[in-house]
A and B are shown apart, each in its own frame.
Chain A
């Protein structure tokens, strides 16, 4: 029995890791969407976290816990810098600013020789692994469910529905927006650090605009009514290309078709139900 499970894990380990990491990324974009903002910087935050953690581990030999904390803190600081001027405003300014952040991050990583430049950073020792990934995901899921079922969750949903009315109800809008972005960036950074320490190699190409859109699509497919929904979306979108592997050349086409149909017929996500907020 254990042997069979072991075999299964070794065969599919990169997929199992990816589902967990993408689940954390989906939660990170959910936090921002949940207050009615749009961030396209999740891939950049992830990349900054991945490089911060991996550089510390590879070049300075820090313990994994230290790399993880730094991988959360540096993107969080970056979020403070980007959020400061943009989050006082209503509308799409955050989305635009985070696209810019993504491009800048990409160019910096590409040209930063100390971090390997275009060749990336290799030889990252394996740390954390499947337990760290799924443990983090579980803690975050429980945490967000508890927050959703509180005055903070009600305030967040109110902001999403009608920002001006939420403000008149006493919600400190700039503070909520900023906290959401900082928490979201820290989570993406943690996801990056976890994933870097199970894949031995990271490169600047993994954290571009395409990845930002992919992360956003987890939450769009799953829905944002409850924290579980985006995680489910991430699991489906990570598994789908693998399940469709027998289709060979038609794989990407069918993959795209399924996503288009899902968004057309389930515009509020696969799990559209909202969490009760009076618990």
Chain B
């Protein structure tokens, strides 16, 4: 009961001093706001990058083209060999005959239909193919060469190059964003330290008397810590709105895909709520760290 009474008092004092030093509070709040918007962007970007990297990796298939003259026995032999390779996901092995490939292509386009009809089976450029997925994407290159060495295998293709480059680009963007976020957080912490310092010096007399009449250090410090948390909380309002509505608008504008069908964005719900929650928590923690620093430095009690 006592702790609630004291807490009530602290919260009242904290709000009072946020209002009393409004201009400086506003400076801290705006700084937190900017920081948190960038933090929110960084969070959303990195979650999305992680998400589609995983998606791409899951979909990464090795396509194995067999020689034109492969017989049915050869084809079965290849499958048998494929099953022996460790990194190959056994369940994913799929066979497509020339005929199936042809039909599929003809379905897709009329141009193909006429062209493909002119070839008979022996001279067709289409080949029988196997499609397999791997268990460990990092070893995909090694597995591919292993497969290439098998009898009757003509060539092997997997999505090397383009995918790698894309993932690399996104991860360097991510790193830069983290750097900016850390710098901004530090600036914000210092601004909050200054804000709270002003509050402390404005209330020096009161603090002295509190100390004389037997207020514990905890009682004296808590209002300032809460003040920092309030600054953080107020600073996170705009970023939260930005996260929820911004991402929703972004998602709808691009119809859930970024640039290509390859990059699928994370569904807004519940993603935006988690992100908003994280943003609020970061805001409060940054505010708390700042005010704790100020209390330690300027409140020699």
A and B pair up: no
B interface, CB within 8 angstroms of A: none
Chain A: residues with CB nearer than 8 A to chain B? none
